[in-house]
Chain A
Amino acid sequence: MSKHTPFLERLPAYVLGCLEEDEAQEVSDHLAVCPACRAEWLAYQAVVGDLALAVPQTEPPAALKGRLMAHLSARPSPTTAATPSLPWWERLRRLLQGAAPLWAPVSLLLIVSLALLNLLLWQRLSRLERMALAPEMRIVALVGTEAAPEAHGIVVITGDGEYGSLIVEKLPPLSPEKQYQLWLIRDGQRTSGGVFSVTPEGYGVLEISSPRPLLEYSAFGITIEPAGGSPGPTGAKVLGGSL
């Protein structure tokens, strides 16, 4: 029996979501390190996708589309609400790039000010976490693994779970072809929350992208992935924490 067999046999139930949590976690952990089983997983995912096609078809009320579009116009545009994928320091560098050398001293001052501001914010968040003075926010501490024992971080989630930010410190800077990727874990399944890089000092921030409210996830993990991210975790885990 191949070492993959126990996982391959559980994949059909895994994609349907009918494994118990500990079993799902085992499969998920294996998928993170086994491209062959991941290919099988995608094939079964497609089967589950196909199952929706066979449901008896019912036309939705004609007014539903109108209500949807009205809701849409009342919401902020996702592009204005979203944070560009570039890290803040890169966006700042590009913003200032065209204005050098006149802006050089100003930009240096700005960067130092931002660094100080970030440090203050970090200390304030840590204090809030300790004193539990922000009941409307959830803060999840992330602890470094053996791959990055000095690293730590936090995930801050709004009370409704719709938005969240990641702040990390002392993560080793990576080569340009690698980036860190945040994974949102639910029922053993991992969904990407975004990719990010860190400063030479190991500091990084990320506005988390999530297909579901963040409070529906049970844990968060960060792995090293090829630049731009991977469909599922493939590299070493460096940070992790549970909600």
Chain B
Amino acid sequence: MALIAHAQADALGALYDRYGRLVFSLALQIVGDHAAAEEITQDVFLRVWEKARTYRSEQGSVSTWLTSIARHRAIDVLRRQRSRPEHQGIDWALVSPEALPSINGPEVATEATLRRQQVQAALAQLPEEQRQVLALAYFRGYTHRQIAEALDQPLGTVKTRIRLAMQKLRQMLQEE
């Protein structure tokens, strides 16, 4: 990030090589449209180019920073479309915990791939109803109230499910 802050275009290219797919995939999952996802991805990296000096490592990893920008941008695009998107079928890619390669095993997994599978396994362990409310908050940017309306569930139930889902994820992911 320091190199990007000093206008090293190659450094931004390297950052794109590393995180471009992640940013594009997240944008695509939120807006559901390839052309819009491309535009959001380009916008995210151009913003990083201009704002790299505002990045603060103590507030989170580069990946968290990039995906936070991408998620907010994509949700803004979704809101501007003013259409009420279908909320069935939005979810993460899930794997069973048993499918995780052992760190000491023969499988060769990069650190990033292993982390992805750990997160997918943690999500797979959440009850379906918790993952559903989490997905509406994460991919649609809905508030508690909007989720309760979309699913026709009591507001208190939605609040509890969000809290429990996040607490459980935190616990599982910190244990890794």
Contacts and interface: CB of A to CB of B under 8 A. Distances in A.
Nearest to B48: A211
Contacts of A77: 7
Interface string A32-58: 000000000011111111111111111
B9 interface: yes
Nearest to A43: B170
A60 B60 contact: no
A18 B13 contact: no
Interface stretch (B80-88, B96-104, B137-145): B137-145
A52 B67 contact: yes
A231 B9 contact: no
Contact of A69 (B9, B34, B94): B9
Given A52-B26, A55-B26, A79 B5 contact: yes
Nearest to A73: B9
B25 to A, nearest CB: 5
A36 to B, nearest CB: 16
A192 interface: yes
A17 interface: yes
A100 interface: no
Interface stretch (A8-16, A106-114, A171-179): A8-16
Contacts of B77: none
Given A19-B143, A47-B169, A210-B51, A79 B138 contact: no
B92 A211 contact: no
Given A17-B141, A47-B166, A79-B6, A54 B116 contact: yes
Contacts of B12: 68-69, 72
Interface bracket on A: 35 or more
B38 A48 contact: no
Q: Number of contact residues on B: which range applies?
A: 35 or more
Contacts of B115: 50, 53
B137 A16 contact: yes
Contacts of A64: 20, 24, 38, 41-42
B162 A78 contact: no
A78 B145 contact: no
B142 to A, nearest CB: 6
Contacts of B67: 49, 52
B137 A60 contact: no
A210 B72 CA distance: 14
Interface in B40-58: 41-42, 45-47, 49-54, 56, 58
Interface of A: 9, 12-13, 15-20, 42-61, 64-65, 67-69, 71-73, 75, 77-82, 192, 209-212, 231
8 contacts: A16-B137, A49-B61, A55-B25, A55-B26, A71-B46, A73-B9, A78-B49, A211-B51
Interface of B: 4-7, 9, 12-13, 16-17, 20-22, 24-26, 28-29, 34, 37-38, 41-42, 45-47, 49-54, 56, 58-61, 63-64, 67-72, 92-94, 112, 115-116, 119-120, 123, 134, 137-138, 141-147, 159, 162-163, 165-167, 169-170, 173-174
Given A16-B137, A18-B146, 4 more contacts: A44-B166, A45-B59, A75-B50, A211-B51
